[in-house]
């Protein structure tokens, strides 16, 4: 990069740092939160809000399918555009194929950008795995639900709805989610237009130092936590500023756990720090229950069990969920802290992909999420330590090979960042 280019990039980075978007734990109070437990609930709520939109609709998703769900959401976007609402959509270049409706969107005036159209694009290997929507800067959605039919899994019909969650949000946190979308919208443009074209939109709102902002944010967060007031934070990860934001949110909550950690995730291959946090929590007497999804990626089905040994010996309770496709990425700690979002607990989500979670503290909706996780744990197959230790030698070898291969590939893709 030339000296001039480096300076422009430094100004761009500083502009991003000056915005609220960089603040990993900017908790706000006064939010209304509604837990949506399936695609059907999410799509109905989203379409209702889009149909009531008056000014602006933005949507970002990894998968947008041309099925009944996709056509329903797409039709709502077209109706909004027809009545003069500005509609912008971001889809991922690998997660979403080119759909017939994209041409119809362009004709209707819907603005559509594709994040990293190729496997190895100018944004590296990363994908946008986020599932976000904001309507009129009044209502926002964040969770793990793609725009895809609840019962469809790559052409196969699931026996039950996909196990997944999203949140409908109303209040100050909506602004943080909207800003994250706007940053992503501009980020996709970098490389197509000069960096200078971004700078007028990214003038910092504050001249305070980064360290001062962090200290103020930390004090504010501590006040909200200590006061027992319901509060919400939007936590995004990217490869520019918030590289470990979501992982740190998990580590902070698990490290402070005193009674219970409930965690459900389809792709459980975190690095050593998060695994150690779960082990240490179990050893100090915290009830730790881990639900892992199965039967989506065979490689992980073989690799993940390699991690069970240390967890089981520490007292972590593990169950594999096979009733339907477990796609939710959720956790509850001590019935006071919870997260719902798009981030898996694997190298791709924690180290490479753009992800977005919402963290809840003392919010009434946490109880419903806790009950959903406990019910899923009862429906899942428990991993018994004695049976696990008695696995045939061939199965043990296969688990080791799958894990070792996964780890080597992820270390290569993350340039040594995955541990």
How far is it, in rounded angstroms, from Cα 286 to Cα 270? 20
Annotated catalytic residue, options 164, 329, 346, 363: 329
Q: Which residues pair with residue 208 across a beta bridge?
A: none
Helix (H/G/I), strand (E/B), else coil: 173: helix
Helix (H/G/I), strand (E/B), else coil: 89: strand
Annotated catalytic residue, options 92, 131, 150, 336: 131
Active-site residue flag, 118: no
Q: Which residues pair with residue 112 across a beta bridge?
A: 89
Active-site residue flag, 259: no
How far is it, in rounded angstroms, from Cα 419 to Cα 402? 16
Q: Which residues pair with residue 124 across a beta bridge?
A: 121
Annotated catalytic residue, options 56, 182, 301, 334: 334
For the sheet with 86-92, list strands across it: 32-36, 166-170, 139-143, 132-135, 56-61, 86-92, 111-115
Distances (CA, A) of 92 to 72, 98, 346, 349: 19, 10, 19, 14
CA-closest candidate to residue 271, choices 285, 297, 250 = 250
Can you state the percent helix, strand and coil of the chain, rounding each to 5? 45, 25, 30
Active-site residue flag, 334: yes
Dihedral of alpha carbons 216, 218, 224, 227, sign: negative
CA-closest candidate to residue 141, choices 65, 26, 34 = 34
Active-site residue flag, 379: no
Annotated catalytic residue, options 164, 176, 238, 327: 327
Pairing of strands 329-333, 337-341: antiparallel
Active-site amino acid positions: 129, 131, 136, 327, 329, 334
């Amino acid at each position: 990069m030339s000296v001039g280019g480096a300076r422009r990039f430094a100004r761009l980075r500083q502009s991003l740092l000056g915005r609220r978007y960089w603040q990993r734990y900017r908790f706000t109070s006064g939010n209304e939160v509604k837990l949506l437990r399936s695609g059907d609930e999410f799509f109905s709520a989203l379409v209702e809000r889009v149909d009531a939109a008056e000014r602006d609709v933005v949507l970002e998703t990894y998968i947008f399918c041309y099925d009944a769900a996709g056509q329903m959401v797409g039709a709502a976007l077209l109706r909004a555009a027809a009545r003069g609402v500005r509609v912008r959509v971001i889809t991922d270049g690998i997660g979403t194929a080119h759909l017939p409706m994209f041409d119809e969107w362009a004709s209707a005036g819907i603005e559509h950008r594709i994040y990293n159209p190729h496997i190895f694009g100018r944004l590296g290997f990363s994908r946008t795995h986020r599932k976000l929507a904001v309507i009129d800067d009044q209502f926002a959605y964040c969770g793990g639900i793609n725009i895809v039919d609840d019962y469809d899994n790559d052409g196969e019909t699931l026996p039950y709805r996909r196990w997944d969650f999203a949140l409908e949000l109303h209040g100050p946190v909506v602004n943080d989610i909207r800003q994250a979308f706007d940053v992503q919208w501009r980020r996709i443009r970098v490389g197509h237009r000069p960096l200078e074209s971004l700078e007028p939109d990214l003038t910092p709102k504050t001249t305070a130092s980064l360290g001062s902002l962090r200290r103020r944010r930390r004090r504010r967060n501590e006040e909200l936590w200590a006061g027992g007031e319901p509060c919400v934070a939007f936590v995004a990860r990217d490869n520019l500023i918030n590289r470990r934001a979501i992982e740190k949110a998990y580590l902070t909550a698990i490290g402070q756990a005193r009674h219970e950690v409930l965690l459900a995730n389809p792709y459980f291959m975190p690095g050593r720090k998060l695994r150690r946090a779960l082990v240490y929590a179990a050893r100090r007497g915290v009830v730790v229950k881990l639900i892992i999804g199965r039967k989506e990626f065979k490689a992980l089905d073989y690799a993940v069990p390699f991690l069970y040994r240390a967890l089981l010996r520490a007292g972590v309770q593990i169950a594999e969920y096979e009733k339907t496709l477990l796609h939710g990425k959720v956790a509850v700690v001590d019935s006071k802290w919870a997260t719902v979002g798009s981030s898996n607990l694997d190298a791709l989500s924690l180290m490479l992909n753009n992800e977005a979670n919402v963290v809840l503290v003392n919010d009434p909706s946490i109880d419903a999420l806790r009950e959903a996780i406990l019910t899923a744990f009862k429906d899942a197959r428990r991993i018994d330590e004695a049976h696990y230790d008695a696995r045939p030698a061939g199965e043990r070898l296969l688990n080791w090979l799958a894990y070792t291969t996964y780890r080597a590939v992820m270390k290569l893709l993350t340039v040594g960042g995955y541990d």
